[in-house]
Amino acid sequence: MLAQEELSTAAARSETPSDLPTDDELLFGLAIALSETGSKPRKLELVDRRPNPEASTFASERITCRVDGTELRLFCKYAVSRVGEPDPAAGLAYEIAVYRSILGHLNLATPRYYGSVDQGVPSAPWLVVESIEAAQSIDVMEGTEAVCAAAKWIGNFHRLMESSGSRFDTGFLSQFAEADCVAPPEWLDRLKQLPRGAEPVWWYRLVRYFLRLAPILAEDATVIHGDYYGPNVLFQQGQVRPLDWHTARSGPGVIDLAMLLEARPSSQVEPIVSAYRLARWGANPPADLLDRLTAARLWLHFRTVGVVWVPGRGRKWRLESLREEARELGFLRSSNG
């Protein structure tokens, strides 16, 4: 049970959403989670809990507690979907496995893994990690310092997993080629069946080019974050702190780099790519790095809008980006396409 002072603090908080555990359930679960990576707490007191208003895939909250007299700030995720996730329990169990098997053994500034609760509590499983305080998304920071640091961080991670991956249990990871179909045969079959004139010539050429180029992504195998966009990458006192690892998988590292580059000003592209290249390969980058990056950029667009031309489908900026890719590759020569 909570001490009287903690009961008073709890009464002053905003009401906890009904799909999150009660205070007593939370304390019970935290005691289990914290015992996974340390000794079982002799005294555990709840000081404060605040639901995360920016929760995306899973319900989550920031928790302040005292463990044997020492204050601890935690971030807890629950298997409660916030975006219509078809199987939140399986998705969160997968992220827990990423922390247990990989991130928890590294010293790379990812949120510290405190433990998890697999059963015996509402909305199981739970993931309990360090709460990242006083940090900003790299998307809201001016200049290139933070985003180049993020490129360096992910380059280092890819290099480490590429060279030392056998030290970790990565067999459970989803495989990029299987889960996302880099260049599924049906794409080319459907393209061949289109009546000529159904799509702009530049689109047809760009898709054919992508399908020929895509196989080189298989040469870039490592462990990737899989959703390495600004909101998932925090910058805290000069450190890069990537979050939300439920999308991690075995796949081409340039996918993470392409995600980081999306919608960045053209003036930032070269410094970001340079920071990644030096961190991952030093003075010996692969000769086809730019082709790999082009394939990754095109994949990000085509996975959203598809390869069959449907006017008006998908985000307008993605279609405009594909048009610009076609222009740079020489597939679009006139101003009107």
Model confidence, pTM: 0.88
Closest CA to 95 of 209, 243, 199: 243
| Overall average pLDDT of the 33-47 stretch | 93
179-233 pLDDT, tens digit each: 354 445 555 555 555 555 556 888 888 988 988 888 888 889 999 999 999 999 9
Choose the weakest-confidence range: 51-55, 177-181, 233-237, 255-259.
177-181
What are the phi and psi torsion angles at 289 (to 5°)? -55, -45
Choose the weakest-confidence range: 165-169, 292-296, 309-313, 326-330.
309-313
When pLDDT is cut at 50, 70 and 90, the band that residue 302 belongs to is confident
77-132 pLDDT, tens digit each: 999 987 766 788 999 999 999 999 999 999 899 999 999 999 999 999 999 999 99
Choose the weakest-confidence range: 16-25, 34-43, 148-157.
16-25
What whole-number distance in Å separates Cα of residue 90 and Cα of residue 57?
12
Instruction: Answer for the pair 256, 158: CB distance below 8 angstroms, yes or no.
Output: yes
In this prediction, what percent of the chain has a pLDDT beyond 90? 62
Choose the weakest-confidence range: 13-17, 64-68, 273-277.
13-17
**What is the 3-class SS of 114-153, one letter each residue?**
EEEECCCCCCCCEEEEECCCCCEEHHHCCCCHHHHHHHHH
Fold for the domain defined by 4-130: Phosphorylase Kinase; domain 1 (3.30.200)
Tokens of 32: 């289990």
Rounded to 5°, the CA angle 206-261-208 comes to 10
Which amino acid type is present at position 149? A
Domain limits, the chain: 4-130, 136-328
Rounded to 5°, the CA angle 101-148-127 comes to 30
Superfamily the domain 136-328 falls into: Aminoglycoside phosphotransferase (APH), C-terminal lobe (3.90.1200.10)
Beta strands in the chain (DSSP E): 44-51, 58-67, 70-81, 113-117, 126-130, 136-137, 174-175, 221-224, 233-236, 239-242, 249-252
When pLDDT is cut at 50, 70 and 90, the band that residue 236 belongs to is very high
287 compared with 207, residue with greater pLDDT: 287
Maximum separation of any 2 CA atoms in the chain, in Å: 75
